[in-house]
Structure formats: C-alpha cells, structure tokens
Structure 1
Amino acid sequence: MGLLTPDPGLVFWSALTFGLLVFILKRYAWKPILHAVKSREETIEYALAAAEKARAEVEDLNVTKVQIMDEAKAQRDDLIKQARDIKKSMLDDAKLKAQSEADKIIAAARVQIEREKNEAILQLKEKVAEFSVDIASKLLEEELQTSDKQKAIIDKYLQEVNFN
C-alpha cells in the first residue's frame, strides 16, 4: 500500500475517534466554552458601553465646568462693577457732604468775621469818639481860658449858623 492510499481500518478508527471527540466536546466542552466566550463578549460590550458613557459624562462635565466658570467670571465681574459703583457713589457722597460742610463753615466764618468786624468798627468809633471828646475838651479848656478868645469863638460859630 502506498502512502497516499488510506487503510480502511485506519479511516474507520480515525472517524470513530473524531466522532467520539466531537460528541464529548459537544456534550461537555462546547457549552461551557461558548458560554465563557459569550460571557466575555457581554463583559467587553458592557465595559465599552460604560467607557462610552463615562466619556460622554466627562464631556458633559467639561461643558458644565466651562459654563460654571463662565458664570462665575460673569458674577465676579458684576460684583467688581457693583463694588466700584458703590465706592464711586460713596466717594461722591463724601465729597458732596464735605463740600457742604465746608460751605457751611465758610459761611459761618464769614458771618462771624462780619460780626466781629462790625463790633471792632463800633469799638473803634467809640474809642475815636472818646479820644475826640478828650482832645476837644483839653483844647477847649486851653482855648477858652481867656474871655477874648471865648467871644471870638462864639462870634465865629454864630456867623456860620444860618437862621433861615
């Protein structure tokens, strides 16, 4: 027999062994192997779905984070603007109050100065009047010691006075 021609007994026993092997594998090994492969496939699909879901959640979180950051920046800018406006308003109010107080103080000082000036003028007039009277009385005392001088002064004043 040649190498290429099979022996019928060998073919029979090989087919029988192969069939028995297929039966044993089908009975005991194929179901657990297929079950393990299917389980592994489901686990991989679940892991891929979970990874996709996690990726989508991360993208959503990034978008949310950007929105929150934008809102926070806008709120910060609004707060800074409000603080600046309040500061400006407070400074303006303080300036107005200070100017008003200064105007009141200046007005009061002017009134006080005018009053003191009038009092000083009045006192000066009184002093001048006193000095004038003192000087006049001293002059008259000296001038009117003789009767000739008295007569001359009376005549002079009588000529100045007009009786019309």
Structure 2
Amino acid sequence: MDKLLNDFSPGLFVVQTILLLLLILLMVKFAWKPIMNSLNEREEGIQDALDSAEKAKLEMQNLQADNQKLLNDARAEREAMLKEAREIKNSMIEGAKEEAQTQANKMIAQAQEAIESEKKSAMAELKSHVAGLSVDIAEKVVRQELSNKDKQLALVESLLGEAKLN
C-alpha cells in the first residue's frame, strides 16, 4: 500500500477521474437510455405476456364453466324428454287398455243380446210347437170317446210318446 501512495500522481488522478466521468456521461447519454428502454420494453412485454396468460386462464375457466352449465342443461333437458316420453308411453298404454276394455264390454253386450234374442226365438218356437201339439192332442182326444177314463189316459200317454220334443 505504501508503494501505491508513493507512486500516486494527482494530475494523473484528475485526468483519469475526468475520463471516467466523461465515459459515464457518454454511457448515460448514448447507452444507458437505450439499455434502460430495452429493459423497460422487455419488462412490459413480460408483464403483457403474464397479463395475457392470466386473461386466457380466466377465459378458459369461464369457458369451462359455460361448458359445464351447457352440459348440465343438456342433461336436464334429456331427463325431461325421457320423463315426457315415459308419460306419453304410459298414457298410450292406458288408452289402449281402456279402448280394449270398452271393445270387450261392447262385444260381451252384443253376445248377450244375441243369446237373449236366440233364447226368445227358441222359446217362441217351443211355444208354437207345444201349442200345435196341444191342439193335435185335444183334437185326437175329442175324436175318441170321452167316457172311458182309462182309455183317455192311455191315449194321452201314447200321443205324448209319439210327440218329439226338440
């Protein structure tokens, strides 16, 4: 350190100080501002990229929320459509059952009417046949002598045996 103090020259020191200050001024004037500007531009670019990334992230979250909402709405709509389809199916089945029951009741009523009509027709025919037989029997009985009771009973029984009932 003594050697440094012995070799010290104040003129050289002043010249070197002036040159250093001049170099600093030149650097500030010509290099410092462009370096700072490029650093500021780079910092702004990085900040813009970060802001854009954050904005994109928020938009992505919004899109995901919208997609989830659309998906939920679609599921709810599908469930509503399925429920409506089930209700329509059940109402169609019930309608078909009711219509089939109505048709069956109508057919039963028609069959009962036909049976009743056939029964009345058969009864009328039977009455007509019985009336004819009664007239025939009465006619034959009147022809015979009515004095003999045994004869009359035998005649009635023979006539009844001859008569064919359907």
TM-score, scaled to structure 2: 0.71
Matched residue count: 149
SS at match of 2:78: helix
List 4+ stretches of structure 1 deviating above 6 A. none
Q: What is the aligned partner in structure 1 of residue 63 from structure 2?
A: 61
Q: What is the aligned partner in structure 1 of residue 19 from structure 2?
A: 17
Give the C-alpha shift of residue 90 in structure 1. Answer: 1.6
Relative to 1, partners in 2 of residues 1:83 and 1:3: Cα closer, same or farther, differing over 3 Å? farther
Which structure 1 residue ranges, 5 or more long, are not aligned?
A: 158-164
The reply on whether 1:150 has 2:152 as its aligned counterpart is no
**1:43-82 mapped onto 2 (5 Å cutoff):** 43-82=45-84
Give the C-alpha shift of residue 59 in structure 1. Answer: 1.8
One-letter amino acid matched to 2:100? A
2:37 to 35, 38, 51: 35
CA distance in 2, matches of 1:3, 1:105: 138
Give the C-alpha shift of residue 82 in structure 1. Answer: 1.5
Give the C-alpha shift of residue 115 in structure 1. Answer: 0.6
**Percent of residue pairs bearing the same amino acid type:** 36
Which structure 2 residue ranges, 5 or more long, are not aligned?
A: 153-166
TM-score, scaled to structure 1: 0.72
CA distance in 2, matches of 1:11, 1:124: 161
Q: What is the aligned partner in structure 1 of residue 4 from structure 2?
A: 4
CA distance in 2, matches of 1:70, 1:24: 67
Q: What is the aligned partner in structure 1 of residue 140 from structure 2?
A: 140
CA distance in 2, matches of 1:42, 1:11: 42
- Greater relative CO (CA pairs within 8 A, separation 6+): 2
CA distance in 2, matches of 1:90, 1:128: 56
CA distance in 2, matches of 1:151, 1:107: 53
CA distance in 1, matches of 2:49, 2:114: 94
CA distance in 1, matches of 2:105, 2:146: 63
Q: What is the aligned partner in structure 2 of residue 162 from structure 1?
A: none
Relative to 1, partners in 2 of residues 1:151 and 1:136: Cα closer, same or farther, differing over 3 Å? closer
